[in-house]
Chains A and B, each alone.
Chain A
Amino acid sequence: MPEVINIPATEDTPAIILDAVKGQISISGKALPEDSLAFFKPIYDWLKEYYQSPLATTELHLHLDYINSASTRHLFNIISGMQDLIDKQKNAKVIWHCKSSDEMMKTKGEELQSIVDISFEIKES
């Protein structure tokens, strides 16, 4: 399995970078795939492999302009999987990037921040 996977964005799906060298996952753009599971499947597969020997710190960078509810659930799933890293004495961090003008995404980030048990930072730009 390649250590770095780069999936370019399409009209309906965000750009994804899975970097096992830096321990970074980055999702940016609009997430409204017709079939959300088919879209997130490569990420799940990569994570499964990555979690067998994760780095000391794993960061999830989210630069989302829009995410539909089906994709949100997959995002929860990914974040919840990251919580398991803490049990393995590793660091896990979510960084939620949003435009300060985008109240919808800001609220979504804040709500998510309030329920997760791992470090969750909101960066407005």
Chain B
Amino acid sequence: MNYRTRYFIYGAIFGCFFPVISSIVDLLVQGLPFSLDSIMQVQRTQPLHWVIDSAPLFLGVFAMLAGIKQDEVMQMNQNLEQKVQERTRDLHEKNSELSIAQKDLSKSLEKISQSIDYAQRIQMALISNAEQMKTDFPGSFFLFRPRDVVSGDFLWYHRSNGYVYVAAVDCTGHGVPGAFMSLIGYCLLNKITSENKHAGTAEILDTIHIEIQKILNQKRDSEVHDGMEMALCRIDTKNKTVDFSGAGMGLCYISANGNMREVKADFFSLGGFHFKPNFKYSTQTISYQAGDRFYMFSDGITDQFNAQDEKFGLTRLRKNMAAHSNKPAAEQEKIFSAEIDNWKKSTRQLDDMMLAGIAL
């Protein structure tokens, strides 16, 4: 039963007391006996009773009005409750959707991480040749800090026919695309030096440039301009010379007596298109003495920002090279690593980093 009906009944019942009590009082006042006839008589003679007799109706109606309000409130409550239930159900649904999405996401992330870790093992196997450099040239070291597990930077080391070739390479991109490019560079270096055991450094760079264009179908207006910067040395241990050719990456040479000099690279990097179509790389030959050393590095180090948005810079790197170049290899590696960490702190790493120090 709704409130309006219930309240009407309550009101009417309560209203009945008025005619009953007024009749009883009138009977007592007039000294009449309690009988239906006497009641009928007082009712008939006293018009005030007619007004009082309408009390059940009026009180019933008033109570019903309150009942209507109550009904409305109850209805609103009910609606609200329903809405709350609906919302709660929606939230539960969204919640479970989200947790499913989160699970999917972490599963994908895990798969991608595993895949990249796997790729990293392949990349590490490829560059493990660089370990030979440390044996052949004690005092040499190689600092390798990929931005995203796999790297577009790599060091390549190769011995052939009395020559030692060493290249520091910085491919366009980092992470997976960088690593793809590094494989192209790695394979081309191997291929060219195994086909021509006396290959000169400039000749190798010229060939790599053309080969990358071929492999990636690069034309003047194509969309893939990728390639790599490279510092390539051919060390002739018998005649004590270093031939150097650079494609966008130079080297820093420190003589045994402590003199430092910058060996500049040619501007153009490998692959993509060159502004000058018939450009050929140049070679610089350095005669060395035991105790000389040189450094090759990717711009990931010099371009690294600190919290104040300043770059590590070439000057800082050179200063560190000058200060620490005569220290043992392992110690140098630690020092350079710490210098970079100190600079970077919690700033994110922008690019792959690589630093190779070779002691002749």
Contact = CB atoms under 8 A, between A and B. Distances in A.
Given A103-B314, A116-B275, A66 B305 contact: yes
A114 B267 contact: yes
Question: Interface size for chain B: under 10, 10 to 19, 20 to 34, or 35 or more residues?
Answer: 20 to 34
Interface stretch (B81-89, B222-230, B289-297): B222-230
B173 A76 contact: no
Contacts of B225: 70, 73-74, 76-77
B38 interface: no
B302 interface: yes
Nearest to A40: B223
- Pick the most buried of A69, A70, A116: most chain B CB atoms within 10 A of its CB: A69
Contact of B272 (A37, A76, A114): A76
B351 A102 contact: no
B138 to A, nearest CB: 33
A12 B170 CA distance: 20
Nearest to B248: A69
B346 interface: no
A115 B272 CA distance: 16
B315 interface: yes
Contacts of B172: 68-70, 73
B174 to A, nearest CB: 8
Nearest to A69: B172
B272 A73 contact: yes
Contact of B313 (A36, A70, A103): A103
A80 interface: yes
Interface SS, A side: helix
B339 interface: no
Contacts of B227: 73
A70 B267 contact: no
B142 to A, nearest CB: 21
A101 B351 CA distance: 21
A63 B314 CA distance: 20
Interface string A65-93: 11011100110110010000000000000
B311 interface: yes
A102 B170 contact: no
B319 interface: no
A104 B175 CA distance: 23
Interface in A97-125: 101-104, 107, 111, 114-117
B334 interface: no
B338 interface: no
Contacts of B238: none
A116 B268 CA distance: 12
A77 B226 CA distance: 12
Task: Give me the 9 closest cross-chain CB pairs, A-B, nearest first.
Answer: A73-B225, A70-B172, A69-B172, A111-B267, A73-B272, A70-B173, A115-B275, A37-B223, A104-B311
Given A76-B275, A104-B314, 15 more contacts: A32-B351, A37-B224, A65-B309, A69-B299, A70-B225, A73-B172, A76-B225, A76-B272, A101-B310, A102-B311, A104-B302, A104-B303, A107-B314, A115-B268, A117-B275
Interface of A: 32, 34, 36-37, 65-66, 68-70, 73-74, 76-77, 80, 101-104, 107, 111, 114-117
